[in-house]
């Protein structure tokens, strides 16, 4: 087995040594499933409810989970005594509660969402979309209950975490070279998009969006930002002004 094999883990999780009899059996199951033309390797790994550990790294699922948890604890400990950031201005409006979603709004969110599947999902995503009209009242009730309570249901507070190397060629035995990639449940993503939709509507209605923000905004992108910078450079050149264009930590260009 390749030492660079990504390790999938679920917390709370079960660790299976691939050298054991159970590990060899599950490894055979993965290879059998991955040979199925209807099931890719990624889906095959998700159908096997175990943790596969790369033998050459000697890492365990619990060891990797503890490593990531300790990193978070260290960050919290280092920032716990810091004062809160200063508030320079206060908006005239406030968002004290979210407006409930209608069935039609939730349907649009579901149909516009990617059909990605997580092993934590109780039902396949394509089935949810196929019978969306039948399930909409229950999904809408869940979304609105989360908005009222300010939290996700307990069943949606889990994720499948896959440590992956930050870039090729790094030492696979060093846990610091991995970053955790979380695969969230489909319903948690639906509720996240619902909250983002309400929050974006509030910010847009009250003119609270940063005027120079180009990412994560409708009708704005990196192309929009580049056009804005290009326009400023041309306007400065027309007025015989010098433009200094700086790229952080790389180089500086003078136009």
Q: What is the pLDDT of residues 214-225, one digit of tens each?
A: 777 777 788 888
pLDDT of 33 over the 70 cut:
no
DSSP reduced 3-state for 97: coil
d(CA 138, CA 252): 56
Beta strands in 41-166 (DSSP E): 159-165
Counting residues of the chain whose pLDDT is more than 70, the rounded percentage is 74
Confidence of residue 1 (pLDDT cuts 50, 70, 90): very low
Q: Which comes out higher in pLDDT, residue 209 or 233?
A: 233
Per-residue pLDDT averaged across 98-107, rounded? 95
Listed by start position, the domains of the chain span 9-75, 94-157+185-209, 210-255
Nearest alpha-carbon partner for 136 in 98, 190, 192, 184: 190
Confidence of residue 45 (pLDDT cuts 50, 70, 90): very low
What is the pLDDT, as a whole number, of residue 248?
64
**Residue 150, token pair as written in the block:** 């300010």
Per-residue pLDDT averaged across 109-126, rounded? 90
Q: What H or E segment, with its residue span, contains residue 252?
A: strand 251-254
Per-residue pLDDT averaged across 122-128, rounded? 89
What is the pLDDT, as a whole number, of residue 3?
35
Q: What H or E segment, with its residue span, contains residue 183?
A: strand 178-184
% helix / strand / coil in the chain, to the nearest 5?
45, 10, 45
pLDDT of 23 over the 70 cut:
no
Per-residue pLDDT averaged across 95-119, rounded? 92
Nearest alpha-carbon partner for 16 in 62, 63, 52: 52
Q: What is the mean pLDDT of the chain?
A: 77
Q: In Å, what is the CA distance from 54 to each residue of 7, 173, 247? A: 7, 10, 40
Per-residue pLDDT averaged across 182-211, rounded? 90
The answer to whether 228 touches 210, Cβ cutoff 8 Å, is no
Beta strands in the chain (DSSP E): 9-10, 159-165, 178-184, 244-247, 251-254
Confidence of residue 107 (pLDDT cuts 50, 70, 90): very high
Confidence of residue 31 (pLDDT cuts 50, 70, 90): low
pLDDT of 133 over the 90 cut:
yes
> Taking the complete model, does pTM exceed 0.95, yes or no?
no
pLDDT of 60 over the 60 cut:
yes
């Amino acid at each position: 087995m390749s030492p660079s094999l990504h390790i999938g883990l679920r917390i709370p999780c079960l660790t299976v040594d691939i050298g054991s009899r159970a590990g060899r059996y599950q490894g055979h199951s993965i290879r059998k499933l991955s040979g199925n033309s209807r099931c890719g390797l990624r889906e095959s790994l998700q159908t096997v409810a175990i943790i596969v550990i790369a033998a050459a790294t000697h890492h365990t699922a619990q060891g990797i989970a503890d490593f990531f948890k300790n990193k978070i604890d260290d960050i919290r400990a280092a920032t716990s005594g810091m004062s809160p950031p200063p508030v320079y201005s206060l908006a005239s409006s406030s968002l004290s509660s979210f407006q409930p979603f209608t069935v039609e709004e939730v349907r649009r969110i579901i149909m516009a969402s990617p059909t990605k599947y997580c092993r934590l999902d109780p039902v396949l995503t394509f089935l949810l979309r196929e019978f969306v009209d039948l399930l909409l009242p229950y999904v809408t009730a869940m979304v609105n209950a989360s908005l009222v309570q300010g939290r996700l249901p307990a069943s949606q507070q889990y994720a499948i975490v896959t440590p992956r190397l930050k870039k090729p060629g790094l030492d696979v035995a060093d846990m610091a070279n991995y970053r955790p990639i979380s695969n969230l449940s489909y319903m948690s993503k639906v509720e996240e998009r619902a909250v983002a939709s309400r929050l974006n509507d509030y910010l847009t209605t009250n003119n609270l969006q940063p005027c120079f923000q180009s990412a994560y905004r409708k009708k704005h992108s990196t192309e929009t930002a580049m056009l804005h910078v290009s326009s400023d450079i041309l306007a400065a050149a027309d007025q015989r002004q010098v433009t200094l264009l700086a790229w952080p930590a790389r180089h500086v260009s003078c136009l």
